[in-house]
Amino acid sequence: MKISYHGHSVVKIKTSTHTILIDPFITGNSLTDLKVSDEKPDAILLTHGHNDHVGDTLEIAKQCNALVVATFELAEYLETLGVKTHAMGIGGSYTFDFGQVKYTQAFHSSSFTTTENETIYTGTPGGILFTAEGETVYHAGDTALFGDMQLIGKRNNIDIAFLPIGDNFTMGPEDAAYATELLNPKIVVPIHYNTFPPIKQDPTKFEELVKNSEVQLLNAGDFVQV
């Protein structure tokens, strides 16, 4: 399985048979290396409804008929905009032809702002556990540190975790390092930092604080093979 990072919270997973995009915020993301027109995933997984995570989901899904997997209210809203969706709830899992998806808790908010500046409530935010080909990827989405991360770590053999470190809206480096201890992944990758001034961070600070997992500081386009 090839797992690549593309700035902000954008993660691409390539299995031997499928391509999955998580939170494809491309347009307006100065840190990404992706082009919307080039992306043809089989599925798009969304952690929550904020515009910097939903990103270019609609355009990408429509251009390649990708399935969009999201929590219930967000999936229902996106369905009204003409894409094929699969709605899920926190704690629920479902096995697709491309792998198993399970939604975990995330402590954040979730809404989508339209081009007319209307705010649409999009339900509960989540993290995502994705399992395929014997490997498990945890994408925490946007979240604060919470104690049940220890349960997630105990109940899942996490090969690679993507954790926000930007602070202000999510965990900062210190809390993310403690989250890494609770989750106990083999590899951890910091995300959701340096895209905007309020989340400016030096990822080496996070790297120095993590003791028991391998830290990979990935630039846009870098990947990990698991």
Question: What pLDDT, on the 0 to 100 scale, is given for residue 226?
Answer: 87
Show Cβ contacts of residue 161 under 8 Å, excluding neighbours closer than 6 positions: 137, 138, 139, 140, 180, 183, 185, 187, 188, 189, 213
Q: What does the pLDDT read at residue 75?
A: 98
Q: Span 187-200, mean pLDDT? A: 98
pLDDT tens per residue across span 117-150: 999 999 999 999 999 999 999 999 999 999 999 9
**Domain parsing of the chain, residue ranges:** 2-225
Asked whether residue 182 carries a pLDDT value surpassing 90, the answer given is: yes
Q: What CATH number was assigned to the domain covering residues 2-225?
A: 3.60.15.10
pLDDT, averaged across the chain: 98
The model's pLDDT over 155-169, given as tens digits with 9 standing for 90+, comes to: 999 999 999 999 999
